[in-house]
């Protein structure tokens, strides 16, 4: 297992480098620069001094080299805009983003997986139809619109929850953004779980277990659930990573202080170090979650072996 | 001297009048919103020119002057007196001796000089440099040719002498937060950016990036009895629909309204009374590149002004949330000429002018635009068929707002649509069309007209204010005639204000920028 882990971690390095290179090159060629966006009337001589101060007067390959050297030392650079270290900027936003993503996934898992199981155990029933209707609706709803609907209902009409803000980071501020973000993965998990369970229910080993006289509860618990979990875990892993990217809409709508809004603002303001740092964190998070899922495969399914 | 024509709607005026009639209540929390993005850019206000950031900065910092919305002009804030000499170029400021930074230290002349020198650090390109540059020797510091601004002299701890390069009213240059006075010792520290210290009525408590800034009353603020409120919370709320819910739910005290909400609030009996509006000093226009052959001809530029049904666009697309532009200077400008009429919608006249200019069969041009709902793609899309009717074909080139800002500065366009500050100083606003003003500064259409230059130069030298205003009006009328742009509209800023928040000022420079020490909440406010 240890060698597997080491191998997987090493495999992430080219991925990270490719992303860093791509973002770096992309922001070197897109029109619009931090210099022109900061001051709209400075003369070319001053622009040149500023570019020199920010290191933008160097060729792209040299800047990239400097950036990579900094990354190796754990330095994400300094924001062009705020003059703060990017690591500090990300650190301030990391916890709220993690709060939001984990709460959303908790909502998605706690609701989506049981819903899928129930639907699969009674295929064609009213429960199945209603569950899948809910799942399709959840997948189809735009987050922005859903968020507004939830705000309208739970804040304005019922008065149960605040409509926006981070407050003290407490649960009442987290519920609406987490549900808004979590509905889509919840729906996907419900559909995936249903499909996985239905497929496994017709597998030979399940039929064998039943024919041996094993109770239905034991069949579901020991054979169906365990085998379905591999597929469910894969979906969960992908959704975890995807939520990092999707969170930006929810963060902006609810004034939630996350990495997504930092990324969007940094892109609009051409704050390249902040953009690179934010994207890198998202990528690292995605890779870490996938690594964790790979490890969990081994724990759940004894047939999967790593050497 | 500068009389403001504030455009106030219905109960907006009533709100202000009521506020004045009541005795301000001490205590409570004011909950403002920052609607122009999903974050504040920086806690170092010298580094950012976004309107979003000045909302909190008005509570935290102070500059030499402050904008007085009632008088429609900048007035002294950190100085008690300004004695002018040297043919109008030398200003001797007697500073307040009762202004304390939030660290507890008294402000002195050294802080003013240190702050202005900092802003002129050319390697940092502080946006406030455009204002401080008016001090003699400031440009040399910016270019790295000098370490200190030669035109700034400390006479004593509370007196400074400022020598300017032109005869202008320094109030217009030193009232925004971009030229805030920092504490020289504290601001040099790295910790300043995390916990800024200012001279404003409220001191910094907390910044949750992407969510809010919290400030609390500074008890040693120099205006007796002010501020009234205990606390101010400025929440970042970039989404108009979310602001709408929060406002209706009484979670925020102010909300900026877009065109769609403006219509909805006007038709809602409960919300109509919360609307406050003012003509801001921004002019929306289509700039035409004179290096593109058809636009070099004045008749073609005039034809475009005749060919577009501007009133229809303002009413239908902008939902009436704008005032028709008659030339460059906006309604709230002291040099606005009420007698001027906009170009009428007259396609026949447009065709005639095009024919006279040799474009009877029309021509084609590329129109660069952003997605902005009030002065971007939706407007361009509506205009294209109107131009088509007189034979002019427009091809849309859509770019991001940040890119558009660069496009207009570099001249890489045939035509563009934009929103540009056209005040509060009419002299500075019109100077953007002076031939000596470089394109990257603000002469985006590289306008050159010897008569215009002469009138504007004369206005700059005029000591008599009435004469100056008259000359500026003449220059503004000449712009109308020359039509370097299609004059679209002046922004109508609209804000919804909860009935318990009093003292809102109709600030024509930016409605969200409030002198917060004058705001107060009555006992009906739901905020603790």
Q: Model confidence over A188-247: pLDDT tens digits? A: 999 999 999 999 988 898 899 889 888 888 888 888 888 888 888 888 888 888 888 889
B4-35 confidence digits (pLDDT tens): 444 444 444 444 444 445 799 999 999 999 99
Contacts of residue A150 in chain B, CB cutoff 8 Å? Answer: none
Q: Collapse the DSSP code of B183 into the 3-class scheme (helix H, G, I; strand E, B; otherwise coil) and give the result.
A: coil
Integer Cα distance of A122 and A118 in angstroms: 6
Tokens of A133: 């209707």
Q: Is B129's CB within 8 Å of A39's CB?
A: yes
Integer Cα distance of A122 and A116 in angstroms: 10
The arithmetic mean of pLDDT across residues A125-134, rounded, is 88
The arithmetic mean of pLDDT across residues B137-159, rounded, is 96
- Is B222 in contact with B158 (CB distance < 8 Å)? no
Per-residue pLDDT at B524: 96
The torsion angles phi and psi of A260, rounded to 5 degrees, stand at -60, -50
Per-residue pLDDT at B12: 47
Q: Which residue has the tokens 């005039």?
A: B302
Integer Cα distance of B421 and B283 in angstroms: 6
Tokens of A83: 């003059």
Closest CA to A178 of A152, A143, A145: A143
SS (H, E, C) B418-436: EEEECCCCHHHHHHCCCCC
Decide if B210 touches A, using CB distance below 8 A: yes
The arithmetic mean of pLDDT across residues B33-54, rounded, is 90
Tokens of B141: 């510091």
pTM surpassing 0.80?
yes
What band does A270 get if pLDDT is binned at 50, 70 and 90?
Answer: confident
> Which positions ≥6 away from B246 have C-beta within 8 Å?
A155, A163, A164, B33, B237, B252, B255
Contacts of residue B38 in chain A, CB cutoff 8 Å? Answer: 251-252, 255, 261, 264-265
Q: Does residue A12 or residue A173 have the better pLDDT?
A: A173
Nearest C-alpha of chain B: how many angstroms from A266?
A: 9
Element (H, E) at B392: strand B392-398
What band does B1 get if pLDDT is binned at 50, 70 and 90?
Answer: very low
* Nearest beta carbon to residue B125 from set A35, A93, A163: A35
Decide if B248 touches A, using CB distance below 8 A: yes
What band does A8 get if pLDDT is binned at 50, 70 and 90?
Answer: confident
Per-residue pLDDT at A302: 67
Which segments of B198-297 are extended strands (E)?
Answer: 202-208, 212-217, 231-236, 254-256, 275-288
> Which positions ≥6 away from B238 have C-beta within 8 Å?
A252, B35, B36, B37, B38
Inter-chain Cβ pairs, chain A and chain B, closer than 8 A:
164
Integer Cα distance of A73 and B376 in angstroms: 44
Decide if B251 touches A, using CB distance below 8 A: yes
Percentage of chain B with pLDDT > 90?
Answer: 87
B465-499 confidence digits (pLDDT tens): 999 999 999 999 999 999 999 999 999 999 999 99
B55-75 confidence digits (pLDDT tens): 999 999 999 999 999 999 999
Instruction: Give B459-464 contacts, CB < 8 A, sequence gap 24+.
Output: B459/B427, B459/B430, B460/B166, B460/B167, B460/B168, B460/B427, B461/B167, B463/B88
Alpha-helix residue ranges (DSSP H) falling in B137-250: 138-142, 184-187, 240-248
DSSP state of B93: E
Decide if B212 touches A, using CB distance below 8 A: yes
- Is B139 in contact with A56 (CB distance < 8 Å)? no
Per-residue pLDDT at B21: 58
Decide if B526 touches A, using CB distance below 8 A: no
Closest CA to B478 of B265, B335, B292: B335
Residue A99 reports pLDDT greater than 60: yes
Contacts of residue B242 in chain A, CB cutoff 8 Å? Answer: 147-148, 151, 163-164, 253-255
Q: Which of A248-257, A289-298, B78-87, B431-440 has the lowest mean pLDDT?
A: A289-298
* Nearest beta carbon to residue B235 from set A50, A93, A165: A165
Q: Which of B77-91, B400-414, B418-432 has the lowest mean pLDDT?
A: B400-414
Closest CA to A49 of B144, B146, B440: B144
Determine the Cα angle at A277 with ends A273 and A278, to 5°.
120
* Nearest beta carbon to residue B209 from set A41, A262, A268: A262
DSSP state of A55: T
Instruction: Provide DSSP, B439-469.
Output: TTTT-TT----HHHHHHHHHHHH--SHHHHH
Which segments of B48-128 are extended strands (E)?
Answer: 65-68, 73-76, 79-85, 90-95
The torsion angles phi and psi of B447, rounded to 5 degrees, stand at -70, 135
Nearest C-alpha of chain B: how many angstroms from A222?
A: 47
Per-residue pLDDT at B463: 87
Nearest C-alpha of chain A: how many angstroms from B261?
A: 15
Tokens of B315: 């009413």
Residue A290 reports pLDDT greater than 90: no
Q: Collapse the DSSP code of B208 into the 3-class scheme (helix H, G, I; strand E, B; otherwise coil) and give the result.
A: strand
Q: Strand B254-256 and strand B392-398: pairing? A: unpaired
Per-residue pLDDT at A234: 86
Per-residue pLDDT at A39: 61
Decide if B249 touches A, using CB distance below 8 A: yes
């Amino acid at each position: 297992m240890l060698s597997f882990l080491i191998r997987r971690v090493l495999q992430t390095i080219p991925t990270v480098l490719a992303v860093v290179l791509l973002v770096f090159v992309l922001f070197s060629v897109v029109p619009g620069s931090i210099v022109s966006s900061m001051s709209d009337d400075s003369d070319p001589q001053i622009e040149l001094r500023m570019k020199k101060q920010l290191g933008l007067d160097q060729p792209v390959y040299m800047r990239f080299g400097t950036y990579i050297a900094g990354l190796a030392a754990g330095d994400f650079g300094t924001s062009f805009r705020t003059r703060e270290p990017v690591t500090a900027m990300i650190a301030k936003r990391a916890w709220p983003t993690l709060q939001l993503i984990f709460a959303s996934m908790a909502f998605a898992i706690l609701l989506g997986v049981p819903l899928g199981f129930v639907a699969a155990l009674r295929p064609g029933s009213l429960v199945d139809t209603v569950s899948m209707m809910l799942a399709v609706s959840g997948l189809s709803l735009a987050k922005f619109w859903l968020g507004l609907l939830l705000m309208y209902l739970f804040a304005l009409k019922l008065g149960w929850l605040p409509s926006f803000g981070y407050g003290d980071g407490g649960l009442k501020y987290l519920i609406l953004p987490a549900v808004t973000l979590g509905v889509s993965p919840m729906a996907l998990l419900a559909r995936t779980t249903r499909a996985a369970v239905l497929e496994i229910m017709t597998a030979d080993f399940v039929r064998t277990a039943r024919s041996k006289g094993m109770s239905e509860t034991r069949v579901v618990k020991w054979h169906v659930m365990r085998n379905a979990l591999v597929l469910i875990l894969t979906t969960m892993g992908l959704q975890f990573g995807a939520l990092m990217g999707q969170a930006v809409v929810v963060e902006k709508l609810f004034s939630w202080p996350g990495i997504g809004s930092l990324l969007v603002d940094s892109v609009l303001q051409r704050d390249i170090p902040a953009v690179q740092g934010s994207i890198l964190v998202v990528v690292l998070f995605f890779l870490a979650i996938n690594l964790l899922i790979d490890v969990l495969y081994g724990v759940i399914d004894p047939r999967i072996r790593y050497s | 001297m500068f009389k403001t024509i504030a455009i106030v709607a219905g109960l907006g005026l009533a709100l202000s009048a009521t506020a004045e009639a009541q005795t301000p209540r001490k205590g409570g929390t004011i909950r403002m919103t920052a609607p122009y993005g999903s974050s504040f850019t920086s806690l170092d206000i010298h580094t950012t020119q976004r309107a979003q950031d000045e909302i909190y900065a008005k509570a935290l910092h102070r500059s030499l002057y402050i904008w007085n919305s009632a008088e429609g002009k900048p007035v002294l804030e950190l100085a008690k007196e300004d004695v002018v000499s040297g043919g109008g170029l030398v200003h001797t400021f007697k500073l307040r001796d009762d202004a304390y930074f939030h660290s507890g230290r008294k402000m002195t002349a050294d802080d003013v000089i240190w702050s202005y020198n900092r802003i002129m650090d050319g390697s940092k390109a502080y946006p406030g440099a455009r204002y401080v540059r008016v001090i003699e020797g400031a440009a040399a510091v910016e270019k790295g040719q000098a370490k200190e601004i030669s035109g700034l002299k400390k006479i004593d701890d509370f007196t400074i002498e400022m020598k300017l390069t032109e005869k202008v009213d320094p109030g217009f240059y030193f009232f925004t937060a971009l030229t805030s006075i920092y504490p020289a010792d504290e601001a040099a520290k790295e910790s300043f950016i995390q916990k800024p210290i200012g001279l404003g009525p409220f001191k910094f408590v907390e910044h949750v990036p992407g969510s809010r800034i919290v400030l609390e009353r500074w008890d040693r603020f120099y205006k007796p009895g002010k501020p009234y409120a205990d606390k101010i919370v400025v929440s970042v709320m970039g989404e108009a629909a979310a602001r709408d819910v929060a406002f209706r739910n009484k979670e925020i005290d102010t909300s900026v309204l877009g065109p769609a909400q403006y219509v909805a609030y006007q038709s809602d009996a409960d919300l109509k009374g919360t609307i406050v509006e003012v003509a801001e000093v921004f002019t929306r226009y289509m700039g035409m590149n004179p290096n593109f052959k058809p636009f070099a001809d004045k008749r073609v530029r005039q034809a475009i002004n005749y060919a577009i049904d501007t009133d229809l666009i303002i009413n239908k697309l902008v939902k009436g949330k704008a005032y028709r532009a008659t030339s460059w200077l906006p309604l709230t400008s002291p040099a606005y000429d009420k007698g001027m009429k906009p170009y009428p919608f007259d396609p026949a006249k447009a065709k005639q002018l095009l024919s006279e200019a040799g474009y009877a069969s029309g021509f084609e041009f590329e129109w660069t635009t952003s997605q902005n709902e009030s002065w971007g793609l939706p407007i361009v899309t509506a205009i294209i068929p109107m131009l088509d009717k007189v034979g002019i074909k427009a091809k849309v080139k859509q770019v991001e707002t940040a890119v558009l800002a660069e496009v207009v500065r570099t001249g890489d366009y045939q035509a563009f649509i934009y929103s540009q500050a056209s005040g509060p100083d009419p002299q500075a606003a019109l100077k953007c069309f002076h031939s000596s003003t470089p394109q990257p500064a603000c002469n985006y259409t590289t306008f050159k007209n010897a008569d215009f230059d002469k009138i504007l130069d004369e206005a700059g030298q005029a000591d008599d204010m009435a004469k100056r205003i008259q000359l500026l009006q003449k220059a503004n009328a000449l712009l109308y005639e020359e039509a370097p742009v299609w004059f679209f509209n002046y922004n109508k800023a609209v804000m919804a204000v909860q009935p318990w928040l009093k003292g809102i000022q109709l600030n024509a420079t930016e409605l969200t920028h409030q002198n917060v020490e004058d705001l107060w909440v009555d006992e009906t406010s739901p905020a603790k």
